[in-house]
């Protein structure tokens, strides 16, 4: 059973996907489904002995290329809809160990090209309205497979978070004629205290009103709709910054840092005048300090209001110090 059910109070679709309850959790290393299939070995999801970056449909998809008929009848107030869409897995490397930070630079550039290709290809399909490329990393955020990988979800609707941000951007554009994301980026640059790193094309910062202690946003300086509009130089810079960002996180407490990395691009198949947004990544983490996790409890889930236990300015300074350490380590490695 897989279907969309509408909640008219929260004005949101909920995905009901009952076949997912039995998916494989934390398999032993020799049975990793994201490794290559070696001759005579365990048959993984990728039926070949080598690959660079692999993309395939999620074995336990929440959204389906050919969705089943909904199992229940909806009402006018609470309609149901087929769970159409796309759920893909993107495996970053045939190596079982490692992270975005430990891949070669060329591999990360290749990964960005894969994201561009998938965004273009999926955009052309009927019924798709929003494509979310993301990575969940670490058991603290529920990741069941440690092999470096990300995911792509393509929705038949614009989900609540981008819908809200695009609505805010639209209201701001109507009032000022400008992009809200550009204006916020300009404020972050003018203030400077929350900037983690900058390049010609990109800026990483802890946002002024961060929900999470180590929340980081990575904005393209140019007001772009999607990864497909990047110059080659901006792709290379992005690869470097994504890798430095993960290394900087891991350097904070000298341990793999759990995070969600979310890529926001323009909605697809929008009408004329639809707000396109502004290409950016968001990193969220439940870590709020060494050995301390943030839980979403009564205030966050009941009210929808987040309590951040840390000053964004202080956490940005911690992240800059960690980045400095990473860069020094890299220098001494290069000089060896």
Residues 214-253 that bind a second copy (CB under 8 A): none
Supply the minimum distance, in Å, between the C-beta of residue 185 and a second copy: 11
From candidates 297, 333, 334, 336, binder to a second copy by CB under 8 A:
297
Catalytic-role residue among 26, 64, 96, 149: 149
Supply the minimum distance, in Å, between the C-beta of residue 40 and a second copy: 34
Return the structure tokens found at 277: 């947004």
From candidates 92, 115, 153, 249, binder to a second copy by CB under 8 A:
153
- Other beta carbons within 10 angstroms of residue 29's beta carbon come to 10
Residue with tokens 């490695």: 333
Strand 130-137's sheet: what is its strand order?
A: 54-57, 86-91, 149-155, 130-137, 259-264, 280-284, 216-220, 202-205, 195-198
- Other beta carbons within 10 angstroms of residue 330's beta carbon come to 12
Is 280 known to be catalytic?
no
The residues that bridge with 203 in the sheet, in sequence order, are: 198, 219
Which 81-120 residues touch a second copy, going by CB under 8 A? Answer: none
Angle in degrees, CA 179, 230, 279, rounded to 5: 35
Is residue 276 within the footprint of a second copy (CB under 8 A)? Answer: no
5/327 with CB nearer a second copy: 5
Which 310-329 residues touch a second copy, going by CB under 8 A? Answer: 310-314
Options 88-96, 99-107, 137-145, 247-255: segment touching a second copy (CB under 8 A):
137-145
Strands 292-293 and 287-289: antiparallel
Residue with tokens 């497909």: 228
- Other beta carbons within 10 angstroms of residue 197's beta carbon come to 19
Options 112-120, 167-175, 227-235, 267-275: segment touching a second copy (CB under 8 A):
167-175
From candidates 89, 91, 180, 279, binder to a second copy by CB under 8 A:
180
**C-alpha to C-alpha distance for 116 and 98, rounded to whole angstroms:** 23
13/202 with CB nearer a second copy: 13
Options 45-53, 100-108, 153-161, 242-250: segment touching a second copy (CB under 8 A):
153-161
Is residue 65 within the footprint of a second copy (CB under 8 A)? Answer: no
Q: What is the 3-state secondary structure (H, E, C) of 149-182?
A: EEEEEEECCCCHHHHHHHHHHHHHHHHHCCCHHH
From candidates 206, 266, 284, 323, binder to a second copy by CB under 8 A:
284
From candidates 7, 104, 269, 330, binder to a second copy by CB under 8 A:
7
Point out the residues that are catalytic: 149
């Amino acid at each position: 059973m897989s279907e969309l059910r509408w909640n008219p109070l929260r004005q949101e679709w909920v995905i009901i996907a009952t076949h997912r309850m039995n998916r494989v959790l934390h398999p032993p290393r020799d049975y990793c489904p994201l490794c290559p299939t070696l001759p005579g070995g365990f048959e993984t999801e990728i039926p070949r002995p080598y690959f660079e970056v692999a993309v395939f449909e999620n074995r336990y998809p929440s959204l389906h290329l050919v969705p089943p008929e909904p199992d229940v009848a909806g009402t006018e107030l609470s309609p149901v809809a087929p769970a159409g869409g796309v759920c893909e897995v993107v495996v970053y490397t045939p190596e079982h160990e490692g992270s975005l930070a430990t891949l070669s630079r060329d591999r990360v550039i290749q990964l960005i090209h894969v994201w561009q290709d998938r965004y273009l290809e999926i955009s052309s399909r009927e019924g798709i309205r929003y494509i979310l490329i993301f990575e969940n990393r670490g058991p603290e955020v529920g990741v069941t497979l440690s092999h470096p990988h990300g995911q792509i979800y393509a929705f038949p609707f614009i989900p609540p978070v981008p819908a809200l941000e695009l609505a805010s951007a639209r209201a701001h554009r109507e009032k000022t004629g400008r992009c809200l994301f550009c204006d916020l980026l300009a404020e972050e640059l003018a203030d400077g205290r929350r900037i983690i790193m900058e390049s010609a094309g990109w800026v990483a910062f802890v946002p002024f009103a961060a929900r999470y202690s180590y929340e980081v946003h990575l904005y393209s300086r140019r007001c772009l709709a999607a990864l497909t509009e990047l110059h080659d130089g901006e792709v290379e810079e992005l690869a470097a910054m994504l890798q430095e960002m993960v290394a900087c996180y891991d350097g904070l407490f000298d341990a793999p840092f759990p995070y969600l990395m979310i890529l926001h691009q323009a909605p697809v198949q929008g009408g004329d005048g639809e707000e396109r947004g502004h290409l950016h990544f968001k990193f969220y983490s439940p870590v709020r300090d060494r050995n301390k996790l943030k839980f979403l409890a009564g205030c966050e889930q009941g009210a929808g209001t987040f309590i951040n236990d840390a000053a964004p300015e202080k956490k940005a300074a911690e992240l800059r110090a960690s980045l400095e350490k990473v860069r020094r380590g890299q220098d001494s490695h290069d000089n060896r």
